[in-house]
Amino acid sequence: MTKFRLRKPSRYIMSSNTNRSFSCVYCGVEYNPLKPDNIHTKANKYKITRNDIETTHKCNECGKVTKLYWSEQEGSN
């Protein structure tokens, strides 16, 4: 039996780096994540709303993937 792995479509448009650094949850190496756009600027470890955008970062040190969820800033509407 063949197993298929379904994946969410990835977003290819990335904006500039954040001015905040994060650490790999597995080995602790710091990295600067990329914001998905100029609207979703608040990074979270967990998904807060259904409008949050998931991004991933593959650690250069240990090779494991860390996920961040990006939310809109409160009061931006």
CA angle 10/13/18 to nearest 5° reads 105
Grouped pLDDT means (10 residues each) for the chain, 77 residues:
47 51 91 90 91 93 94 74
Q: What is the pTM of this model?
A: 0.67
Q: Are 32 and 53 in contact (CB under 8 A)?
A: no
Can you give the pLDDT at residue 13?
A: 40
Can you give the pLDDT at residue 70?
A: 94
Q: Are 15 and 38 in contact (CB under 8 A)?
A: yes
Can you give the pLDDT at residue 76?
A: 56
Can you give the pLDDT at residue 3?
A: 52
